[in-house]
Structure 1
Amino acid sequence: MTKPTAHWRKRLLATERPAYLAIPDLIAEDLRDGRLAARDRLPTLRELAEDLHLNYTTVARAYAEARKRGLIDSRAGYGSFVRGKAPALPLRGGSGAEMTMNLPPEPSDAALLARMHESAAEVMAQCDLYGLLRYQDFGGTPADREAGAHWLRRRLPNATADRLLVCPGIHSVLTALLSQLARPGELICVDALAYPGLKAIATQLGVQLHALPLDDDGPDVEAFEHACKTLSPKAVYCNPTLLNPTTITMSRARREALVDVALRYSVPIVEDDAYAMLPTERLPRPLACLAPDVTYYITGFSKCLGAGLRNAYVLAPNVRLAQRLAGALRATTVMASPVTNALATRWVQDGTADAVLEAIRDECRRRHALAMDHLGRWGVAGHPECFHLWLPLACDWNIVECASYLRTQGVAVVASAAFSTDGNPPDAMRICLGGPAPLDACDRALRLLADTLDHPQHPHATVM
């Protein structure tokens, strides 16, 4: 009998527990007691069946149960190996390095936190509290709208408060816009890799998504024009700056070409510019500057201050369309929270929003540098002031298998299938570097990722 399992036969004879459940128990026990260690190779199914005088199916069920418990990994051509334990990193709502939720990093600057607390306290101390607890007209107060227009003018110099609505998050704006622009069964054009929330909204509304191929400059304009000629899309959705998930920014030439097609075929543009405030370098002009009469420009604070600040701004092509959109949003969300609006407005007015944004940029730069150190040789794509990365899987490991394995090790990433709108996702994953995890936890998680990629033939590999 093979050495790692020499004592298993006697233990199986002594237990009334089914063998397919007892074998995983024995693996866990041997791992705990040191008889097995991470990376130890286990017998093949046929070898173990012969050693233990069991049928092949029973052993196959046992190994499947052990994989389900996270005790072993099996890979065609390499056999089955003990996983062992990886360093524990806290998970969202639980216990690990949560790298699936695209949250900005949380700066630890005590002076900045004190400033945020002080400014928030002033809002509550100086406001008409009961006024904030009443129903409001949709779109925010005049002061809220003017603060929003001021925030947008760094990207859209001609932003005006009368065309702007303050909304409870970008997701709510997209829901209202899709419901307004397209009826069930109708179609909008999107990137072949797009925000999963948009996919969920379209499914809920019965709206069809038509994928446009992507390259390093953005969506394929010829494919967009062909869709306009043959499919009559009701809108085109773009995430032109630091695309979630690939981090690409649409080039100026591609923006101009896309706008030209949209104008010629009278196709509304939904410009989701959630990440546009992060980069400090000069970016190409927004689509809303190139085609203001057909573009809905959307941004918010979830990616540059914090996801819990559920404030978004949408700038409609004109006042009439802003009022029409306000009706659709009122029907689905009633209004944005006046309390949250007041806080966001104060932070824009007193400069706190700019201070937090700059601190987030600084933290992004530190995390990006770590990512390049650990994953640069794997061709990871990123931007120094962005908190998500796009990592092509440059080995023969199945992407879903890789993501699943990393989750068992306490590092959660998102496989490309979550973003795919054409049913043909590339072998890649999105890695998020933000959220509450401190810099050292981010470093450990990136080291584990690098170690896993360095040893693709050993999916049970751990960080030593």
Structure 2
Amino acid sequence: MPGLASHWLKRLGESTKPAYLMIPDLIEEDLASGRLQARDRLPALRDLAEALRLNYTTVARAYAQARKRGLIDAKAGSGTFVRGRAPALPLRAGTGAEMTMNNPPEPPTLTVRLRESAARLMSTTDPYDLLRYQDFGGTPADRAVAVDWLRRYVPACRADTVLICPGIHSALVALVSLLARPGQTICLDTLAYPGIKAIATQLGVQLQALPSDDEGPLGPAFETLCKTQKPSALYCNPTLQNPSTRTMPQGRREILADIALRYSVPIIEDDAYGMLPQRTPDAMATLAPELTYYVTGLSKCFGAGLRIAFIHGPTARQTQRLAGTLRATTVMASPFNTLLATSWIKDGTAEDMLKAIRAECVARQLLARDVLAGRPYDADPEGFHLWLPVPPDSGWRPSELALHLRSRGIGVVSSAAFATDGNPPDAIRICLGGPGERDEVEESLQIVADTLDDPHHLHSAML
């Protein structure tokens, strides 16, 4: 696997972590990103040692660590293989609590209204209108509604700087394609949305993690990078950051915006969760309007199937350049999803949904506070994620814990999926929106807490 070895060699050179500990992290990270698949055969010890310019003993220790963490299996006479994953859990509440995906809670009080609203739209719309090509980026009427909605977050946005597209992920693909060529660099936090990692890998763009603290990327580190190697863009997720749940304070936003302005570095502001808090600091698009591409959408805050995103570009000209890139990759947003989004924003359904989902988030966070009392974790009262450290004395590695919980019907995500610097913290991310009912949330969190407290746990085998 020469491509894998060269990737690992580069990452090892960038990390200060001992190689025998870093290699298992790379295996876990590549499993999360799709670079490695279940039952892939890994290089023999001597071959990998030669490819990575390490001694045999170091690679043997690395494989031993990876076996301990349940990442690989060695079969006499056959070689070393990546282990498979436990059976997938349903993406909706059922026999398991799916707490990995970014599913917002689904307040049952809205079910009837949403059903009636969708039926009414279908009964009053020519179905063939929904089967035809649409205006790219949304019709003038759709954009006008989108602008009214976005102005609560970016007051200066206009119809000629706004595009409607099929989901935030699609918007990020287009933005990375537009702003960075293969081999160029985008800088970002040490923890980030796994999708941006996958996009960068697919497009051959390098990601440079910026040293961070509890408020976000450090300004001096960003400025040093701008001086020594001007990045193609700064990617940030400043409100309810995925996975840390942190909201970057006003002061840190101003520092980063000022540096970006002085060095003319474009900003990709991924505001996927920015609708949930009732109050937030100024958007980067307000602090650095001539450089910031502001992206938000409905799938992360309303429901994953409502794949509608809004992009506000710095200028009308730059928005049109982005439109060309988007057109090449996505053609157009789903007409039915666009119809739903526009109608729900106009008639107030979207605002009522947001209030109900926010209230449900608050209720579930209160449950989590009670179950996890005395245990340190990060969360926002109006968000639906938890960032839970895994104590060193628990005996668990994050990957092992995630695997064990999945065997018990609970899905969580190990920190390696989010790390951009090759040094993931010992933590897992838990989504409180996946379980359908609050009692499922409480029961699942209790199992997580009990598992962390059990010093005699049994490591479940991967299939």
With normalisation by structure 2, the TM-score equals 0.78
Q: Decide whether the 8 Å contact of 2:89 with 2:411 is kept in 1.
A: no
Partner Cα distance (2:264, 2:108) in 1: 47
> Where does residue 374 of structure 2 map in the other structure?
377
Partner Cα distance (2:187, 2:455) in 1: 37
Q: Aligned in 2, Cα 1:187/1:460: closer, same or farther, shift over 3 Å?
A: closer
**Which segments of structure 1 move beyond 4 Å, counting only runs of 4 or more?**
none
SS at match of 2:379: coil
> Where does residue 417 of structure 1 map in the other structure?
416
Instruction: Note the alpha carbon deviations across 1:266-312, whole angstroms, 9 max, x for none.
Output: 000000001111012x2110000011110000000012211100100
> Where does residue 455 of structure 1 map in the other structure?
454
Partner Cα distance (2:342, 2:436) in 1: 28
Q: Decide whether the 8 Å contact of 1:413 with 1:430 is kept in 2.
A: yes
SS at match of 1:237: strand
Q: Decide whether the 8 Å contact of 1:395 with 1:456 is kept in 2.
A: no
Query: 2:173 pairs with 172, 175, 178, which one?
Result: 175
Would you say 1:393 and 2:390 are equivalent positions? yes
Instruction: Note the alpha carbon deviations across 1:1-38, whole angstroms, 9 max, x for none.
Output: xxxxxxxxxxxxxxxxxxxxxxxxxxxxxxxxxxxxxx
Would you say 1:226 and 2:227 are equivalent positions? no
Q: Decide whether the 8 Å contact of 2:91 with 2:434 is kept in 1.
A: no
Partner Cα distance (2:174, 2:89) in 1: 36
SS at match of 1:158: coil
Would you say 1:263 and 2:246 are equivalent positions? no
Q: Counterpart amino acid of 2:237?
A: N
Partner Cα distance (1:459, 1:373) in 2: 26
How far 1:459 sits from its partner (Å)?
4.4
Q: What is the 5 A alignment of 1:107-126?
A: 107-109=107-109, 112-126=110-124
Q: Counterpart amino acid of 1:213?
A: P
Instruction: Note the alpha carbon deviations across 1:152-194, whole angstroms, 9 max, x for none.
Output: 1111112211110000000000000001100111100011000
> Where does residue 204 of structure 1 map in the other structure?
202
Q: Decide whether the 8 Å contact of 1:387 with 1:434 is kept in 2.
A: yes
Structure with bigger gyration radius: 1
Q: Decide whether the 8 Å contact of 2:147 with 2:158 is kept in 1.
A: yes
SS at match of 1:115: helix
Q: Aligned in 2, Cα 1:359/1:237: closer, same or farther, shift over 3 Å?
A: same
- Which moved further from structure 2: 166-175 or 121-130? 121-130
How far 1:460 sits from its partner (Å)?
6.4
> Where does residue 56 of structure 1 map in the other structure?
none
How far 1:117 sits from its partner (Å)?
1.8
Q: Decide whether the 8 Å contact of 1:191 with 1:213 is kept in 2.
A: yes
How far 1:95 sits from its partner (Å)?
3.7
Q: Aligned in 2, Cα 1:455/1:395: closer, same or farther, shift over 3 Å?
A: farther
Partner Cα distance (1:398, 1:143) in 2: 51
SS at match of 2:101: coil
Partner Cα distance (1:236, 1:456) in 2: 43
Q: Aligned in 2, Cα 1:257/1:263: closer, same or farther, shift over 3 Å?
A: same
Partner Cα distance (2:416, 2:436) in 1: 25
Would you say 1:273 and 2:271 are equivalent positions? yes
Query: 2:163 pairs with 138, 162, 165, which one?
Result: 165
> Where does residue 337 of structure 2 map in the other structure?
340
> Where does residue 446 of structure 1 map in the other structure?
445
Q: What is the 5 A alignment of 1:308-387?
A: 308-387=305-384
SS at match of 2:164: strand
Partner Cα distance (2:458, 2:408) in 1: 11
Q: Decide whether the 8 Å contact of 1:91 with 1:411 is kept in 2.
A: no
Would you say 1:99 and 2:96 are equivalent positions? no
- Which moved further from structure 2: 377-386 or 197-206? 377-386
Q: Decide whether the 8 Å contact of 1:348 with 1:354 is kept in 2.
A: yes
Partner Cα distance (1:457, 1:245) in 2: 29
How far 1:90 sits from its partner (Å)?
6.4
Q: Decide whether the 8 Å contact of 1:91 with 1:410 is kept in 2.
A: no
Q: Decide whether the 8 Å contact of 1:238 with 1:270 is kept in 2.
A: yes
Q: Counterpart amino acid of 1:444?
A: E
Unpaired runs of at least 5, structure 1:
1-63, 69-88
> Where does residue 427 of structure 1 map in the other structure?
426
SS at match of 2:303: coil
Unpaired runs of at least 5, structure 2:
1-66, 72-87
Partner Cα distance (2:406, 2:435) in 1: 18
SS at match of 1:106: coil
> Where does residue 83 of structure 2 map in the other structure?
none
Q: Counterpart amino acid of 1:392?
A: P
With normalisation by structure 1, the TM-score equals 0.78
Partner Cα distance (1:107, 1:456) in 2: 37
Query: 1:307 pairs with 304, 307, 313, which one?
Result: 304
Q: Aligned in 2, Cα 1:90/1:175: closer, same or farther, shift over 3 Å?
A: closer
Q: Decide whether the 8 Å contact of 1:98 with 1:411 is kept in 2.
A: yes
Partner Cα distance (1:131, 1:460) in 2: 55
Q: Counterpart amino acid of 2:378?
A: A
SS at match of 2:372: helix
SS at match of 1:209: strand
SS at match of 1:429: strand
Partner Cα distance (1:203, 1:272) in 2: 18
Would you say 1:288 and 2:285 are equivalent positions? yes
How far 1:231 sits from its partner (Å)?
1.5
Partner Cα distance (2:455, 2:269) in 1: 39
Q: Counterpart amino acid of 1:108?
A: P
How far 1:457 sits from its partner (Å)?
4.2
Q: Aligned in 2, Cα 1:113/1:192: closer, same or farther, shift over 3 Å?
A: same
Instruction: Note the alpha carbon deviations across 1:111-150, whole angstroms, 9 max, x for none.
Output: x222212222222222233222211221001111111111
- Which moved further from structure 2: 173-182 or 224-233? 224-233
Query: 2:235 pairs with 216, 234, 237, which one?
Result: 237
Q: Aligned in 2, Cα 1:436/1:375: closer, same or farther, shift over 3 Å?
A: closer
Partner Cα distance (1:456, 1:231) in 2: 47
